[in-house]
DNA sequence: CTAGGGTTAG
């Protein structure tokens, strides 16, 4: 949540204030500006993420008799969806049909997105089927939205079927779509299927990108953590393969490795990765350092952990709430241990 | 002219 009084918030406030001022001028004008002009303003306000303001403006437009069209009403639907009130979005759709404004593929995609955000995937899927039946052409990203919803709710099987269906309908999935499914398969522990899809991506002229690789590396490491020791080397090997393909690992890729070593209690190996990374000119971030700080604390090396926090500051990476929580937690636990020791020594 | 929308690490 935004903090009241933060500078960027005031900045934002000024801008919404401006759009509301402009809006008031527009509705007072005698020949009213066209709906296109209003929609431009609505769009600008949406970009500032002030959805409630847009809802207000739309109702005022109704009040003064500015006629809505498919564009302005789609904006309104989007605002309800963003506010988590997809059902109101559907009422707007009903109103659209009632007043004879033809919804477009964008209108339906907006509602589908809203449903997916609320994890109502089956409703999203039937709306999707409905729009196709009525002859509206969904875009690649409409497919992607549904697919993402299926993956997020853990419906991996259906996600794979959906991927095949979109291919059958002549949509060429892009790397983002493949990454979504590959990650989903990885998270379900279906590494073999993920790797199969991965080689399929290579065969088609879609090049795997850094995200594709990071998903696979993360999956290999998870398997290592849960059942098969020694797979970290395979993960490192995958990084080499990545490099050969001209993809340089980034902080995220390395964080996966650092996390893996830390979970095994191999903090020095983890620290080593951070150092090597820096030598390559890749800046670690708070996330990565927090993992390292946590691992040191868990080993009882609290002062070493604090040294790392100092190093962070020297590299002008500011520790965040998570960093301080880790340290505070470590100090508490340490305190408990010394208390226990005291207690046992007095007995 | 003006609208919607997707991926990784804690």
Cβ of A215 less than 7 A from strand B = yes
How far is CA A26 from its chain centroid? Answer: 37
Cβ of A238 less than 7 A from strand B = no
The CA R_g of chain A, rounded to the nearest whole Å, is: 26
- pTM for the whole structure: 0.81
What residue ranges define each of the domains in chain A, with the CATH number in brackets?
Answer: 17-103 (no CATH), 250-339 (1.25.40.10)
Helix, strand, coil % (nearest 5) of chain A? Answer: 75, 0, 25
Nucleotides of B under 7 A from a protein CB: 1-10
Cβ of A252 less than 7 A from strand B = yes
Q: Which residues contact A322 (CB under 8 A, 6 or more apart)?
A: A286, A290
Contact between A172 and A200 under an 8 Å Cβ cutoff? The reply is no
N- to C-terminal Cα distance for chain A?
A: 50
Cβ of A225 less than 7 A from strand B = no
Cβ of A74 less than 7 A from strand B = yes
Protein CA at A110 to nucleotide C1' at B3, angstroms: 9
Predicted pLDDT at A212: 94
**Hits for CB < 7 Å against strand B across A residues 114-153:** 138-142, 144-145, 148
**Hits for CB < 7 Å against strand B across A residues 154-193:** 173-177, 179-180, 183
How far is CA A14 from its chain centroid? Answer: 28
Predicted pLDDT at A344: 56
Predicted pLDDT at A338: 58
pLDDT tens over chain A, length 347 residues: 343 334 444 444 568 888 999 999 999 998 999 999 999 999 999 998 999 999 999 999 999 999 999 999 999 999 999 999 999 999 999 999 999 999 999 999 999 999 999 999 999 999 999 999 999 999 998 999 999 999 999 899 999 999 999 999 888 899 999 999 999 999 888 888 999 999 899 888 788 999 999 999 999 888 877 767 778 888 888 888 888 888 889 999 999 989 989 988 999 999 999 999 999 899 999 999 999 999 999 999 999 999 999 999 999 999 999 999 999 989 888 776 655 555 555 54
Relative orientation angle of helices A232-244 and A251-263, to the nearest 10 degrees: 170
């Amino acid at each position: 949540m935004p903090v009241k009084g933060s500078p960027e918030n005031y900045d934002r406030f000024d801008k919404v204030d401006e759009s509301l001022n402009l809006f008031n001028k527009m509705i007072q004008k005698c020949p009213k500006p066209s709906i296109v002009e209003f929609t431009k303003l609505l769009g600008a306000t949406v970009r500032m993420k002030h959805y409630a303001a847009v809802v207000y403006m739309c109702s005022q437009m109704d009040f003064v008799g500015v006629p809505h069209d498919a564009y302005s009403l789609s904006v309104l639907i989007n605002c309800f969806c963003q506010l988590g009130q997809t059902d109101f979005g559907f009422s707007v759709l009903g109103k659209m049909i009632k007043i004879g404004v033809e919804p477009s593929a964008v209108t339906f995609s907006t509602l589908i997105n809203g449903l997916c955000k609320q994890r109502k995937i089956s409703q999203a899927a039937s709306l999707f089927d409905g729009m196709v039946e009525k002859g509206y052409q969904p875009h690649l990203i409409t497919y992607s939205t549904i697919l993402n919803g299926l993956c997020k709710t853990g419906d991996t099987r259906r996600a794979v079927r959906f991927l095949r269906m979109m291919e059958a309908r002549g949509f060429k999935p892009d790397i983002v779509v493949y990454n979504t499914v590959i990650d989903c398969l990885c998270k379900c522990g279906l590494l073999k299927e993920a790797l199969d899809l991965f080689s399929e991506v290579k065969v088609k002229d879609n090049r795997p990108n850094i995200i594709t690789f990071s998903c696979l590396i993360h999956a290999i490491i998870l398997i290592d953590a849960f059942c098969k020791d020694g797979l970290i080397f395979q993960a490192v090997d995958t990084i080499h393969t990545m490099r050969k393909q001209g993809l340089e690992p980034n902080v995220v890729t390395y964080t996966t490795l650092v996390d893996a070593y830390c979970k095994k209690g191999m903090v020095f190996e983890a620290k080593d990765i951070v150092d090597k990374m820096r030598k390559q000119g890749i800046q670690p971030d708070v996330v990565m350092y927090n993992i390292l700080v946590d691992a040191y604390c868990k080993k009882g090396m609290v002062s070493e952990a604090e040294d790392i926090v100092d190093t962070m500051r020297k590299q002008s990476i500011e520790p965040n709430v998570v960093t301080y929580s880790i340290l505070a937690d470590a100090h508490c636990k340490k305190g408990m241990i010394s208390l226990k020791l005291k207690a046992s020594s007095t007995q």
